[in-house]
Amino acid sequence: MVSVNTLISITTVVFGLASLLLISKARSRLSRGSIREYVDNFSICLAFILIFSLWQTGRTIFGREISISELAGYPELIFIAFAYTGFILVSYRLFKISKEFGFKEEGRGIERIIKGRKKR
Amino acid sequence: MAEAKALFRKEVSNLRDYVVLVIVDAKKYQQTNVELIKFLVKEQKIPGVYVTLNKPYEAILRTFEDNDIDTRLIIFIDAVTSSIGQAKKAKNCLYIGSPEKLSDISVAMDQAVKALPKEKFVFFDSINTLAIFNKPVTVARFVHFLAEKMREWKIKGIIISLEKGINDALMDELTTLADSRIDVGGS
């Protein structure tokens, strides 16, 4: 009988793999540039999360058989720490992209000029 | 040299939103661009987005200012000036870095168009440079995307192409996609 824990772990891994597949498909459609670099960074973070989930699933299925003495929990922590470090970098990149590609300020400025002209 | 403007005015007078393909002779290229932008910004008082794959922003800005065009109403997307690494923004211009970065150009155009008030134009200068830096299939796909987007955005879209240097199949494709085609100074 498969436990709920195992079922959830396997589902998480399947979702993670599906996400990576979708991202790699999306990447292949993009030409080089800021957006593709963002996708690259995001894929790395996702890969770490996926490894984390895989490790955890392995532990759930095999108990502590794959552990090296009592250190089985540490790799998980390392993977998740790498993933979150990556997410910080990705968020910063996204912040930079929004600064460069966002035109709201310029749009407002143009709207002000047009309104100013109409008033005159 | 009011030929381009007269032809353009005639073609678009009854249209609210449009995609117009302007085929221009190399000798008349700069003058045609100035005339069309003058017509849109100065006469019609419409803000817009100018995508340049041909001349750097600084050069275009100087030309427009010399021609008394209010450049404050235009958001420039410059894919000519090479920038190291990521895209960079200065004043009302976003430097993409290379005409090969089609995804970045598309995203920048989308963001710029959506930031502008309701009535606006997109001036794409030019298809030829795209064809130099990208594979024919990629150019064809991008042209399709561009025309589709211009319709979706409900804007006045102008696509510039030089008479020579573009293959017949792509030219036919462009002509089919546009609402109207204007030939300036050539066949």
Residue B17 pLDDT? 93
Residue B1 pLDDT? 52
Q: Does B107 touch chain A (CB under 8 A)?
A: yes
Give bridge partners of residue B184 from the DSSP assignment.
B24
- For A54-93, give one letter per residue: b (16+ CB within 10 A) or e: bbbbbbeeeeeeeeeeeebeebbeebbebbeebbeebeeb
Mean pLDDT of B160-173: 87
The overall average pLDDT reported for chain B is: 90
Q: What are phi and psi of A70, to 5 degrees?
A: -110, 20
Task: Report d(CA B147, CA B153) in Å as an integer.
Answer: 10
Amino acid at the residue A105: E
Q: Which long-range contacts (CB under 8 A, 24 or more apart) does B27-31 make?
A: B27/B185, B28/B1, B28/B3, B28/B4, B28/B184, B28/B185, B29/B160, B29/B162, B30/B63, B31/B1, B31/B4
For residue B161, give Cα distances in angstroms to A36, B112, B117, B173. Answer: 28, 22, 27, 13
Residue among B75, B100, B103 whose CB faces A35 most closely: B103
Are the Cβ atoms of A31 and B86 closer than 8 angstroms?
A: no
Mean pLDDT of B67-71: 95
| Alpha carbon of residue B154 to chain centroid | 15
Residue B182 pLDDT? 92
Q: Which range, A15-29, B58-72, B79-93, has the best average confidence (pLDDT)?
A: B58-72
| Alpha carbon of residue B133 to chain centroid | 17
Tokens found for residue B60:
């275009």
What share of chain B has pLDDT > 90, as a percent? 65
Nearest to A42 by CA among A97, A96, A93, A100: A93
> Domain map of chain A by residue range?
4-119
Residue A17 pLDDT? 92
CATH class, domain B17-184, is: alpha beta
Q: Does A14 touch chain B (CB under 8 A)?
A: no
- For B131-163, give one letter per residue: b (16+ CB within 10 A) or e: beebeeeebbebbeebbebbeebebbbbbbbbb
Nearest to A12 by CA among A59, A52, A40: A52
Tokens found for residue B187:
């066949």
Q: Flag whether the ipTM exceeds 0.85.
A: no
In the predicted model, is pLDDT for residue B86 greater than 90?
A: no
* Nearest-neighbour CA in chain B from A31: distance (Å): 6
User: How many other C-beta atoms lie within 10 A of the C-beta of residue B45?
Assistant: 13
Residue B63 pLDDT? 95
Residue B33 pLDDT? 94
pLDDT tens-digit profile of B24-52? Answer: 999 999 999 999 999 999 999 999 999 99
Which residues contact residue A16 at a Cβ distance below 8 angstroms, ignoring those fewer than 6 apart? Answer: A46, A49, A50, A53
DSSP 3-state of B75: strand
| pLDDT level of residue A28 (50, 70, 90 thresholds) | confident
Task: Report d(CA B39, CA A16) in Å as an integer.
Answer: 53
The reply to whether omega before B187 is within 30° of 0 (cis) is: no
Are the Cβ atoms of B96 and A99 closer than 8 angstroms?
A: no
pLDDT tens-digit profile of A46-86? Answer: 999 999 888 888 887 877 555 555 666 677 778 888 888 88
Residue among B73, B94, B97 whose CB faces A101 most closely: B94
Mean pLDDT of B175-187: 84
DSSP state of B163: S
Element (H, E) at A31: none
Residue A53 near residue A14, CB atoms below 8 Å: no
pTM of the entire predicted model: 0.82
pLDDT tens-digit profile of A97-111? Answer: 888 888 988 999 999
Which residues contact residue A27 at a Cβ distance below 8 angstroms, ignoring those fewer than 6 apart? Answer: A36, A39, A40, A43
Q: What residues of B are in contact with residue A107 (Cβ under 8 Å)?
A: 75, 112, 114-117
Residue B83 pLDDT? 63
Nearest to B162 by CA among B139, B136, B186: B186
Mean pLDDT of A8-16: 88
Q: Hey, of A110, A113, A115, A120, which one would you mutate to test binding to chain B, going by the most B CBs within 10 A of its CB?
A: A110
Q: Hey, of A28, A30, A34, which one would you mutate to test binding to chain B, going by the most B CBs within 10 A of its CB?
A: A34
Give bridge partners of residue B89 from the DSSP assignment.
B94
The overall average pLDDT reported for chain A is: 83
